[in-house]
Amino acid sequence: MNKKEILTKKNIEGVANFLKSSVQSLVATDTGCCRFILNDDLAIFVGWSDGYDMTDTDIIKSPTDQRKVGSNVVGYAINAAVKVRNDFYWAEFDDLDFPYYEDNGECWDNALSLKPNMTIKDYKHDAKWFLSTFVSMFNESKKKNTKLRFGR
């Protein structure tokens, strides 16, 4: 797969708009996960991910489900990632699988925490990064001796 074919202005704008509308929806409902299908195997997901320091000002925090762990308060923040497409269950971001290497079990963790007050330029930057990651994953999976798997 050629990056130039995927990293078009139209595709970048489409993913950027998806990221922006997903954040708006998640903030409004404080629940769920949103999906943008890339191909038969992969999709971009945006959802709540657990384990974040609630004093961090660079994340979009959930106002609910915060708890004290030791001297820290932890909870959920909005994340986005290219993950294995799941058409049957995609309600929880943390339950979705990253592509992984069969030989050593390492996953291709590409999750980003989305920041408050992002501009459309910020969303386009992240969209371009996710589309580039998708192309890299796809190309890696097609190599003759690769062990990259999409969980199926």
Classify burial at 85, counting beta carbons within 10 Å of its beta carbon; exposed 0-12, middle 13-18, buried 19 or more. Answer: buried
Rounded to whole angstroms, how far apart are CA atoms 129 and 125? 6
Q: Where are the beta strands (DSSP E) in the chain?
A: 33-37, 42-53, 67-69, 72-84, 100-101, 112-113, 148-149
Max Cα–Cα distance, the chain, nearest Å: 49
Across the range 70-79, mean pLDDT stands at 96
- Which tens digit of pLDDT belongs to each residue from 81-91? 999 999 888 89
Provide the pLDDT for residue 152: 55
With cut-offs at 50, 70 and 90, classify the pLDDT of residue 147: confident
- Pair 64, 30: CB distance under 8 Å: yes
- Which tens digit of pLDDT belongs to each residue from 22-58? 999 999 999 999 999 999 999 999 999 999 999 999 9
Across the range 94-122, mean pLDDT stands at 95
Provide the pLDDT for residue 88: 87
Q: Is the pLDDT of residue 111 over 70?
A: yes
- pTM confidence score: 0.94
Reported as type and span, the H/E element at residue 6 is helix 3-6
Compute the CA torsion angle 141, 146, 151, 152 (nearest 10 deg).
80
Compute the mean pLDDT over every residue in the chain, rounded to the nearest whole number. 94
